[in-house]
Amino acid sequence: MSIILGIDPGSRITGYGIVQQQGRTLTYLGSGCIRVVGNNEEVPLASRLRRIHDGVSELIAQFQPDEFAIEQVFMAKNPDSALKLGQARGAAIVAAARQDLLVAEYSARQIKQAVVGGGGADKTQVQHMVVQILKLPATPQADAADALAVAICHCHTRQSMVSMAGAARKTVRRRLR
C-alpha cells in the first residue's frame, strides 16, 4: 500500500491530489489547490514560491505520502511563464526532497496517455477519466483534477514497472532451468 501526492505546479495556483494505491486499486484521499495569490493581488514571486513550498510541506505532514509525482515543465510560448513554472516546480520538489520522498516527474503527454489512453487528450477528457477512475461524485477543480491525473499516472507507471519486473524474473528463472 502506498500513498502518492501528485502536484500540478503553477506560480499562481498549484493543484494537489492524494491517492492511495493498493495493488491495482486506487482510492481518493484528497485534492485541492494551493492558491498563492488572491483576486487582483500582486504577490512577489519569492513569496509565492515560499507559499507553494509551505503548502506542499503541510500536505506532506498531513497525509504522510510515500511518493511524490509532479508534472514536468512544458515549453510555453512565453519564456517568462516557463521560468516561473519551473521555479514553482522547484519549490514543490524541495518540500518533497526535504522529507526524503521519491520524486517522479512526468510529461503532460505521459499523464494523458496513462489516464485517458491517448497523449493528445484535452483537459475535459482528463477530468472525466479522473472522476471515473477514482469514482468521484463530482469533478474536482481543474488544477486539482490535473494533480490527481499526475498521481494516477504515477500509480499506473509503478504498477507497470512491478509487472515488468515480475515478468523479467520469470524469464530469468526459465532461462536458468
Q: What tens digit of pLDDT does each residue of 89-139 get?
A: 999 999 999 999 999 999 999 999 999 988 788 889 999 999 999 999 999
Domain coverage including residue 75: 2-176
Contact 74, 108 (CB under 8 A): yes
What's the pLDDT at 167?
Answer: 45
What's the pLDDT at 177?
Answer: 55
Among residues 66, 67, 122, 143, the one annotated as catalytic is: 143
8 is in an annotated binding site: yes
Give 1-44 pLDDT, tens digit per residue: 999 999 999 989 999 999 999 988 999 999 999 998 876 678 89
Give 127-142 pLDDT, tens digit per residue: 999 999 999 999 999 9
What is the domain count for the chain? 1
What's the pLDDT at 171?
Answer: 45
Residue 5 C-beta-side C-alpha neighbours within 13 Å:
29
DSSP 100: T
In 3-state terms, the chain is what percent helix, strand and coil (to 5)?
A: 55, 20, 25
Contact 5, 65 (CB under 8 A): yes
Closest residue by Cα to residue 151 from 16, 56, 9? 16
Is 8 an annotated catalytic residue? Answer: yes
What's the pLDDT at 164?
Answer: 42
User: Whats the size of the chain, residue-wise?
Assistant: 177
Kindly report the CATH number assigned to the domain that includes residue 127: 3.30.420.10
Is 67 an annotated catalytic residue? Answer: no
Q: What are phi and psi of 31, to 5 degrees?
A: -165, 165
Give 55-87 pLDDT, tens digit per residue: 999 999 999 999 999 999 876 678 888 899 999
Q: What are phi and psi of 80, to 5 degrees?
A: -65, -40
